[in-house]
Structure 1
Amino acid sequence: MGSTKNVDMSIDPKDLPKVVKADVVEQSAEPASEGEAKPTAIKAAKKPRKNRSAKYSAVRAHVDKTRKYDPFSAIEMIKKLSYSSFPGTITAHGVVESAGEVGSVALPHNTGKTYTVAVFSEEVAKQIEDGNIDFDVLLATPADMPKLTKFARSLGPKGLMPNPKNGTLTQDIEGKKKQLSSGTVTIKTEKKAPLYHVVIGKTDMETKDLVENLTALLTATKTKTRKLSIAATMSPGIKVELAK
């Protein structure tokens, strides 16, 4: 049998060498015992809250946060609560399941937003080379693609590169120009978020026209939109009932 070591219990704990703990926080499923130091919780940095004006807070108080308004009531409420000194732009903000192209909608009434449409040509190519991109939409035919390829780095990040998905690469240039001028909108989400924004009009438009534009949007996106709200340039947001 091995010999038994005698432990000297007379040693003062104060004389023992101190153990320096490394700054490592280990997570344990067991709760900390009484007297044990609890691991430091690492909290995620909170986003700073927006400082809203007194006027915004006053009009926000009129909105029922728990309610989803029908299109007519939502438009009426937005027009009533908009407090800008100019005709505010009313924008619909929709949430879908994944980022990308949602579809298109032909709004029955002019939204007050105008698009500058360019058709690819040698002159337009020279403007792009010089960095003079002053158009909102660029139309081209499939035959133009070999010449367009070198401008992909300039046009792509701006969403201006013609492509067949949104109809900007087409044989029917005149038909597409007419479609754009009639109020047809291609709906795309933000690049990295399943959220889209569509202008449906101005606060000084007739309520009936705004309701019809909003209804057209809801109908066109009813299989993809999960949530939708509208807001003017200076107004709180209003939740809207989705199309059934």
Structure 2
Amino acid sequence: MTKQRTVTTDLSAGRQESPSNAKFSWELAYIDLQPKTATILKDARVKPDQLRAMADGEVLAIPGVTDAMLEEIRAHYQAGLVDEVKDIKKEDETKKHDKKQAVAEAADNALPAKSVSTSPRMKYPRHLHGRSALYKSKLGKLGDKTYTIANAVSLLKTISYSRMKTVELHLTAKDTGLRGEIKLPFSVGKEIKVAIFSPELLETIKSGKFDFDILLATPADMPKVAPLAKILGPRGLMPNPKNNTVVDNPVKRAEELKAGATLAYKTEPKAPLIHLSVGNLNQTDDELAGNIKAILNGIGVTRLKNATLKSTMSPGIKLDINL
């Protein structure tokens, strides 16, 4: 049996009321008005709620509506009722918002206080307080000048204060796209883990559990290595003929790399910057200076704008690259 939707007409109030879930019907609209008035409003497609929100001048602007009809309309559909409903709804929403905010504040107050770190790094973040006093004191020893390689290496050992002993050389080139290899006279003080591609290593790479720094392969191996590009590429380990990791004799190449006598360099993809590790502070001044000179000569000072020498966390020392 189909349920019939009922609509109640309150003639004394001059308005029709329908259930909140009832769909609006033009056939049932304005049954409390004269047929001619109702027809004009229906033809203009003005709903009762819209009518209540309209000013008298807007109602008279509807084609066919006369002053007499306006009086009849206003007797049943008084202006301003919609605004009153909106104000009531707005007030209810404000009360709900205030209640939620009060509940949230009560929940926050109930939580235990968060512990605050006493670490100087957290207490005095660099972006708010700048460099540490120790760093500034070391920087003050440098001044705004350039140093010869020998003097820079000697000075670097006096201003370095980190437990990390890596010596870094940062170069600004005139163009991007520079890459190559340089044979260094001394070790860079770092043990390089070199792996040679094999079927056994293939499965290890697929598992993602490997710890080598360089992967070598022969040209014949590359079809097998290519599917691993998604794993090796993001880590900078994909063999490439341009950096001499695709070679005919990978065993010989691995011995050269493990000896630390060969250093690969290249600029950043979108900036003419080169970052290299040239040794560590435990090496002699002559060894560090020898590696730096070999790098500058290998790249070519005419292709460089400037060079900065530093160790981990130390201030940078500007180098005189006019060898």
Answer whether contact 2:156 2:311 (CA < 8 A) is retained: yes
Q: Deviations over 1:92-151 (max 9, x none)?
A: 000113333432112211121111111000111101111113111000000001111111
Amino acid at match of 1:232: S
Amino acid at match of 1:95: T
Q: Does 1:77 align with 2:147?
A: no
Q: Provide the rounded CA distance (Å) in 2 between the counterparts of 1:232 and 1:202.
A: 8
Q: Does 1:209 align with 2:302?
A: no
Amino acid at match of 2:263: V
Larger radius of gyration: 2
Q: Deviations over 1:190-228 (max 9, x none)?
A: 233211111111112111111111111111112422211
Q: 1:150 aligns with which of 215, 227, 231?
A: 227
Alignment of 1:194-233 (within 5 A): 194-222=272-300, 223-233=302-312
Correspondence for 1:180: 257
Relative to structure 1, is the Cα distance of residues 101 and 155 closer, same or farther in structure 2, using a 3 angstrom cutoff? farther
Answer whether contact 1:102 1:224 (CA < 8 A) is retained: no
Q: Provide the rounded CA distance (Å) in 2 between the counterparts of 1:113 and 1:199.
A: 9
Q: Provide the rounded CA distance (Å) in 2 between the counterparts of 1:174 and 1:81.
A: 41
Q: 1:105 aligns with which of 179, 182, 188?
A: 182
Answer whether contact 1:60 1:236 (CA < 8 A) is retained: yes
Q: Provide the rounded CA distance (Å) in 1 between the counterparts of 2:282 and 2:128.
A: 31
Correspondence for 2:318: 239
Q: Provide the rounded CA distance (Å) in 2 between the counterparts of 1:185 and 1:233.
A: 19
Q: Provide the rounded CA distance (Å) in 2 between the counterparts of 1:98 and 1:154.
A: 30
Answer whether contact 1:87 1:204 (CA < 8 A) is retained: no
Q: What percentage of aligned pairs have identical amino acids?
A: 38
Q: Provide the rounded CA distance (Å) in 1 between the counterparts of 2:258 and 2:322.
A: 26
Q: Does 1:167 align with 2:244?
A: yes
Deviation (angstroms), 1:73: 0.7
Deviation (angstroms), 1:230: 0.6
**What is the CA RMSD across the aligned residues, in angstroms?**
1.8
Give the secondary structure class of the aligned counterpart of 2:134: helix
Q: What TM-score do you get using the length of structure 1 for normalisation?
A: 0.75
Give the secondary structure class of the aligned counterpart of 1:150: helix
Give the secondary structure class of the aligned counterpart of 1:80: helix
Relative to structure 1, is the Cα distance of residues 111 and 96 closer, same or farther in structure 2, using a 3 angstrom cutoff? same
Answer whether contact 2:172 2:273 (CA < 8 A) is retained: yes
Count of matched residue pairs: 196
- The gaps in structure 1 that reach 5 residues or longer are 1-47
Q: Does 1:53 align with 2:135?
A: no
Q: Provide the rounded CA distance (Å) in 1 between the counterparts of 2:220 and 2:175.
A: 32
Q: Deviations over 1:20-54 (max 9, x none)?
A: xxxxxxxxxxxxxxxxxxxxxxxxxxxx5772110
Q: Provide the rounded CA distance (Å) in 2 between the counterparts of 1:208 and 1:49.
A: 40
Q: Provide the rounded CA distance (Å) in 1 between the counterparts of 2:225 and 2:178.
A: 22
Correspondence for 1:33: none
Answer whether contact 1:117 1:136 (CA < 8 A) is retained: yes
Q: Provide the rounded CA distance (Å) in 2 between the counterparts of 1:181 and 1:163.
A: 18
Q: Provide the rounded CA distance (Å) in 2 between the counterparts of 1:164 and 1:212.
A: 28
- The gaps in structure 2 that reach 5 residues or longer are 1-126
Q: Provide the rounded CA distance (Å) in 2 between the counterparts of 1:113 and 1:225.
A: 26
Q: Provide the rounded CA distance (Å) in 1 between the counterparts of 2:272 and 2:236.
A: 17
